[in-house]
C-alpha cells in the first residue's frame, strides 16, 4: 500500500512551512534514516528522515513551495514489490488514512523571539491544512449556537477583538481555522454583525498599512517584507503583553566583588598549547548563575502559569537572549544552578556562535523557566523586558558603571549595575518577586556564595 509522506510539524507552534529542497527524486530508493528533504519554518531549517525503506513514487509538493500546511501530503512512497508508476499516478488521490510520521532532524535554526520560545500552544489539526469546498458550510453553528472553530482560531480571534461567529470558516465542515482569522483581520470573509445584536464595547483598532503609508510621501520610504522570524517575534510579543499582567521590580547591585573574582578566575584559567585559555568568564556568566541559584533559593518563583495549575520547576533552566540581524533567539542553559561558571561561559559562547550561523536545535531554545536579557554592552543603564511565555519572569540587565554610593556614612565610588525583574502577576506576586530579586542581588554582591 502506498505510504503518504506528510509535511511534518517541527515544533509545537508550527502550522506551515516551506519545502526548501528535495534530496531524493522520483524513482529513488530510500532506506530508513535517509535524509529525503529540507523543511524551513520561521524558527528553523530541518532535515526530514525517512522511517521506512521504499521508493519515492511521486513528489506531490515541489521544492521551493512556501506555506505548506502541516500534515499535507508532500510525497508518496511505495514499499518493495509495489508498482511505482501506479502509485505515482494515484498520488493526487491518496488517502491520509495511513500516514507515516517522518522524523524531523534538526539542522539549522533561525531565531525566534526570546524564547522561542517554546511555549506550548494549540497546534493545527491534520484536517486544517487547506479549505475544503467539499465540506464547507455556510454556517459554523449546528443549530444550538455552537461555533465550530479550532482552539488556535478562537484565541487569535479573541486577541484580534473579532467575534468568532462573524468569521466564515473554510476548514472541514465550515470549521473556522487560523487562516480564516488572518483573512478576517483584513476584512475578508467577515460577516456583518446581526442588526439585533447589541453593539460591543469599542476596541482599539490598529491602523491599516494604507493608513500608515498615507502619512509619508510616496518614494520617501522602502517597503521591506517581514520574514517569518520577525512575524513570529511580533506575534509572541503581542500575545505576551495582551495576556500576561506584567509588573516590574528594580534593584542596584554592587559589582566590585564580582569583578575582582572574575579577574582572579580568568587569570588562573589553564591554557592549551597555543596559550589559549580554557575559559574567559563574562559578567553575564555570573548573572546567569546567580539567577539560577536565586530561583533554587526562592523555589516558589521558579514557576509557570497554566489554567490547570501552577507548574513548579525543579531545575533552573535559564534562557539567555542573543541578538542577531533581524531578531533574537534565546538558547537555554539547562540546570544552570548545578553548572560551573566556566561551563556556563563555554556553553554561551557555543550557543552564540551557532545561533548566528542558524545551527541551534529546537530543544536548545525551547522551554526554560526564566530568561536573562542583557543590554549592558550597549551602554543601556536600565530597561524592562517582555516576558517570554511560558516563563513567569525575565531579568533585564543594564550596564555596570561607576557611581557615587554612601558606605559607612562616606561617599565612595563603586561599580553598580541596575537590574529589572519583569514578573507575571498571576504566578509571582510583588513580595515573592522582591524576594527573588533580593536573593539575586545577594549572590551578585557576594559571588563566592554561588560556589556553595
Active site amino acids: 425
Distance CA 354, CA 166 (A): 45
Residues with Cβ within 8 Å of residue 115, at least 6 apart in sequence: 236, 319, 329, 330, 365, 366, 368, 371, 388, 389, 391
Three-state DSSP state, 15:
coil
Stretch (H or E) spanning 20: strand 16-22
Which three cell numbers mark 275?
596559550
Q: Is residue 189 classed as helix, strand or coil in its secondary structure?
A: coil
Q: Which three cell numbers stand for residue 220?
A: 520617501
Q: Would strands 318-320 and 370-374 be described as parallel, antiparallel, or unpaired? A: parallel
Q: Which of 319, 308, 126 is nearest to 236 (CA)?
A: 319
E-strand stretches of 341-426 = 370-374, 393-407, 410-424
DSSP assignment of 325-342 equals: TTEEE--EETTGGGS-HH
Residue 125 Cα distances to 15, 119, 140, angstroms: 9, 18, 17
CB 6 within 8 A of CB 74: yes
Calculate the dihedral angle through the C-alpha atoms of 144, 149, 153, 159, rounding to the nearest 10 degrees. 0
Positive or negative, the Cα torsion across 422, 424, 425, 431? negative
For CA atoms 131, 133, 135, 138, give the dihedral sign: positive
Amino acid at each position: 500500500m502506498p505510504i503518504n509522506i506528510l509535511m511534518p510539524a517541527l515544533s509545537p507552534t508550527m502550522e506551515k512551512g516551506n519545502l526548501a529542497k528535495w534530496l531524493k527524486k522520483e524513482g529513488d530508493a530510500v532506506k530508513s534514516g535517509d535524509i529525503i528533504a529540507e523543511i524551513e519554518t520561521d524558527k528553523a531549517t530541518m532535515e526530514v528522515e525517512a522511517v521506512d525503506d521504499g521508493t519515492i513514487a511521486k513528489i506531490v509538493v515541489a521544492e521551493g513551495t512556501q506555506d505548506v500546511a502541516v500534515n499535507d501530503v508532500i510525497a508518496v512512497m511505495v514499499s518493495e514489490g509495489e508498482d511505482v508508476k501506479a502509485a505515482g499516478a494515484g498520488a493526487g488521490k491518496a488517502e491520509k488514512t495511513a500516514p507515516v510520521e517522518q522524523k524531523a532532524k534538526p539542522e539549522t535554526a533561525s531565531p525566534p523571539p526570546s524564547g522561542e520560545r517554546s511555549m506550548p500552544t494549540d497546534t493545527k489539526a491534520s484536517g486544517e491544512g487547506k479549505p475544503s469546498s467539499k465540506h464547507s458550510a455556510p454556517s459554523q453553528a449546528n443549530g444550538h449556537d455552537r461555533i465550530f472553530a479550532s482552539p488556535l482560531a478562537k484565541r487569535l480571534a479573541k486577541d484580534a477583538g473579532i467575534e468568532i461567529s462573524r468569521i466564515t470558516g473554510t476548514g472541514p465542515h465550515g470549521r473556522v481555522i487560523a487562516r480564516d482569522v488572518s483573512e478576517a483581520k483584513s476584512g475578508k470573509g467577515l460577516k456583518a454583525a446581526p442588526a439585533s445584536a447589541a453593539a460591543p464595547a469599542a476596541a482599539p483598532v490598529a491602523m491599516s498599512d494604507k493608513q500608515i503609508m498615507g502619512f509619508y510621501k510616496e518614494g520617501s520610504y522602502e517597503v521591506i517584507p517581514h520574514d517569518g522570524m520577525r512575524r513570529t517575534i511580533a506575534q509572541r510579543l503581542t500575545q505576551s503583553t495582551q495576556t500576561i499582567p506584567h509588573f516590574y521590580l528594580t534593584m542596584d547591585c554592587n559589582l566590585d566583588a564580582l569583578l575582582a573574582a572574575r579577574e582572579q578566575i580568568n587569570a588562573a584559567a589553564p591554557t592549551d598549547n597555543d596559550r589559549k585559555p580554557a575559559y574567559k568568564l563574562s559578567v553575564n556568566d555570573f548573572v546567569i548563575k546567580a539567577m539560577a541559584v536565586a530561583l533554587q533559593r526562592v523555589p516558589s518563583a521558579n514557576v509557570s502559569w497554566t489554567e490547570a495549575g501552577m507548574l513548579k520547576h525543579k531545575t533552573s533552566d535559564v534562557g539567555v537572549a542573543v541578538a542577531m540581524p533581524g531578531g533574537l533567539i534565546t538558547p537555554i542553559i539547562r540546570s544552570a544552578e548545578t553548572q560551573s561558571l566556566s561551563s556556563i561561559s563555554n556553553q554561551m559562547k557555543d550557543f552564540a556562535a551557532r545561533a548566528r550561523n542558524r545551527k541551534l536545535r529546537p530543544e536548545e531554545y525551547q522551554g526554560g523557566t526564566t530568561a536573562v536579557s542583557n543590554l549592558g554592552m550597549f551602554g543601556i543603564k536600565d530597561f524592562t523586558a517582555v516576558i517570554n511565555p511560558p516563563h513567569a519572569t525575565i531579568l533585564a540587565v543594564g550596564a555596570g558603571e561607576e557611581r557615587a554610593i554612601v558606605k559607612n556614612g562616606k561617599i565612595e565610588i563603586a561599580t553598580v549595575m541596575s537590574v529589572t525583574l519583569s514578573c507575571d502577576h498571576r504566578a509571582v506576586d510583588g513580595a515573592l518577586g522582591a524576594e527573588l530579586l533580593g536573593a539575586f542581588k545577594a549572590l551578585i554582591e557576594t559571588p563566592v556564595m554561588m560556589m556553595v
